């Protein structure tokens, strides 16, 4: 049952419903998360000895019905609700299905596995479904944005460590000192990441809350791409020579940052904020072309 539903989630149904109520969907999924949590508890009790197999079968049937409703509601989410919103619900349903599979396997495998761990994992996923599902696409993007900013903060800390010469394990040799050229390019990357961190903060405060559903998704997409590129840029400080980083990775990084700014500039903003993004575009290119 669960594996069939997992396969079903991979099918992207193009649903069209201009009247779709995102808040109502949030409430329905929240209630089903609570029901599923209780079902999981009942299943663990029904499958423990000396209960009869019929007790376990009854609870599996009830859980199957709950998942049928979960997947059914998910499949009614239309494109108008927003890509990020729909993905948040898809991930939640997927995680509960995976948790249910793990729980069932703990009872079916020989020798018997410890069932309390997968039960606790499923409870935690259900709790998240109860309390943390987004009310609309903007809320889904803001939640994802917070995660991106946490990742950026880690990258910023790391790139500054390298730029300050504290690059333990640099070139796989803790005793090898960085060359002046390597330090210079690391400082250049640190400046870029610093500016990108400010851009993410500005977009969170000024753009996402003003953007429509489509623009929210465009910001989320561009933000994810730039976040991934940040990890690539910082990792190359350990693996590539300075000229390669400047010619390839810094150029690619700035291109992704400019793409995010272009998405932000589609939002209707007061003149002072629009000018701030224009200034950032120029500053990114200035840093990228600078050679110490």
Q: What is the pLDDT of residues 243-255, one digit of tens each?
A: 899 899 999 999 9
**Spatial contact of 214 and 162, defined as CB atoms under 8 Å apart:** no
Summary count for the chain: helices (H), strands (E): 11, 0
Got the DSSP string for 199-212?
A: HHHHIIIIITTT--
Domains of the chain, earliest start first: 2-131 (1.20.1420.10), 137-289 (1.20.1410.10)
Sequence-ordered list of residues with C-beta below 8 angstroms from that of 172, at least 6 positions apart, any chain: none
The pLDDT assigned to 227 comes to: 97
pLDDT digits (tens, 9 = 90+) for 30-57: 999 999 999 888 877 777 666 666 766 7
Q: Which residue has the higher pLDDT, 228 or 5?
A: 228
pLDDT digits (tens, 9 = 90+) for 168-207: 545 555 556 778 888 999 999 999 999 999 999 999 999 9
**Spatial contact of 169 and 238, defined as CB atoms under 8 Å apart:** yes
Sequence-ordered list of residues with C-beta below 8 angstroms from that of 136, at least 6 positions apart, any chain: 22, 23, 81, 82, 85, 213
Does the pLDDT at position 257 exceed 60?
yes
pTM for the model: 0.87
Closest CA to 141 of 78, 205, 80, 219: 219
The 3-state DSSP class for residue 81 equals: helix
The pLDDT assigned to 110 comes to: 53
Q: Which two tokens stand for residue 202?
A: 């500005």
Cβ of 23: how many Cβ atoms within 10 Å? 11
């Amino acid at each position: 049952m669960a594996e069939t539903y997992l396969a079903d989630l991979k099918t992207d149904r193009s649903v069209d419903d201009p009247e779709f109520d995102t808040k109502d969907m949030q409430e329905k999924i929240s209630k089903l998360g609570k029901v599923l949590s209780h079902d999981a508890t009942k299943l663990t009790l029904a499958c423990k000895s000396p209960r009869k197999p019929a007790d376990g079968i009854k609870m599996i049937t009830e859980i199957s019905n709950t998942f049928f409703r979960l997947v059914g509601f998910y499949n009614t989410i239309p494109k108008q609700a927003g890509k990020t919103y729909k993905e948040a619900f898809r991930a939640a349903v997927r995680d509960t299905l995976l948790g249910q599979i793990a729980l069932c396997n703990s009872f079916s495998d020989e020798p018997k596995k410890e069932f309390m761990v997968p039960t606790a994992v499923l409870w935690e996923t259900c709790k998240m479904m109860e309390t943390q599902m987004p009310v609309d696409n903007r809320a889904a993007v803001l939640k994802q944005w917070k995660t991106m900013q946490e990742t950026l903060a880690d990258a910023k800390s790391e790139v500054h460590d390298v730029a300050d010469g504290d690059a333990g394990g640099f070139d796989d040799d803790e005793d090898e000192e960085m060359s002046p050229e390597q330090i210079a390019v690391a400082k250049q990357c640190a400046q870029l990441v610093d500016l990108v961190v400010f851009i993410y903060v500005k977009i969170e405060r000024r753009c996402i809350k003003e953007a429509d559903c489509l623009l929210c998704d465009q910001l989320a997409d561009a933000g994810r791409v730039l976040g991934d590129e940040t990890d690539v840029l910082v990792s190359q400080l350990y693996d590539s020579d300075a000229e390669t980083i400047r010619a390839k990775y810094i150029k690619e990084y700035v291109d992704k940052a400019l793409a995010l700014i272009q998405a932000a500039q589609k939002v209707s903003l007061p003149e002072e904020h629009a000018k701030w993004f224009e200034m950032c575009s120029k500053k990114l290119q200035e840093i990228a072309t600078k050679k110490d």
